[in-house]
């Protein structure tokens, strides 16, 4: 018996690698956070969050598809960025 496709929400988090400079994060930290008086915040790293709704038989299949998509389509630069792919809860699913 075939398992029917279900909708899964998959998040992709792209960030600069830890040793790479992060000019966007540095600017946010310096020009917004510190100037806003939040001097206990000692650093900021910026990144991108993509949320995709994927039809797949399982969460693992959806995650594998999105991981392949990110690699094949160069959603991130592996030399400069880290890329985390994860399935989130169904109630967090995005709709169009």
What are 44-86's pLDDT values in tens digits? 999 999 999 999 999 999 999 999 999 999 999 999 999 999 9
Task: Reduce the DSSP state of residue 57 to 3 states and report it.
Answer: coil
> How many C-beta atoms surround the C-beta of residue 84 within 10 A?
13
CA distances for 24 relative to 3, 30, 48, 88, angstroms: 44, 10, 11, 27
Question: What is the CATH code for 6-90?
Answer: 3.30.1280.10
Kindly list the domain boundaries of the chain, sorted by start residue: 6-90
Residue pointed to by tokens 């389509």? 73
**Local confidence band at 1 (pLDDT 50, 70, 90 cut-offs):** low
Distance CA 90, CA 7 (A): 8
Residue 5 has pLDDT above 90, yes or no: no
Residues forming beta bridges with residue 11, ordered by sequence position: 51, 86
């Amino acid at each position: 018996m075939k398992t029917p496709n279900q909708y899964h929400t998959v998040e992709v988090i792209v960030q600069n690698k830890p040793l790479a400079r992060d000019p966007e994060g540095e600017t946010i930290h310096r020009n917004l956070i510190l100037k806003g008086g939040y001097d206990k915040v000692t650093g900021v790293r910026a990144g991108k969050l993509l949320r995709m709704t994927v039809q797949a038989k399982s969460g693992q299949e959806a995650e594998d598809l999105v991981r392949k998509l990110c690699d094949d389509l160069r959603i991130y630069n592996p030399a400069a960025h880290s890329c985390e792919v994860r399935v989130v809860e169904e109630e967090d699913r995005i709709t169009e």
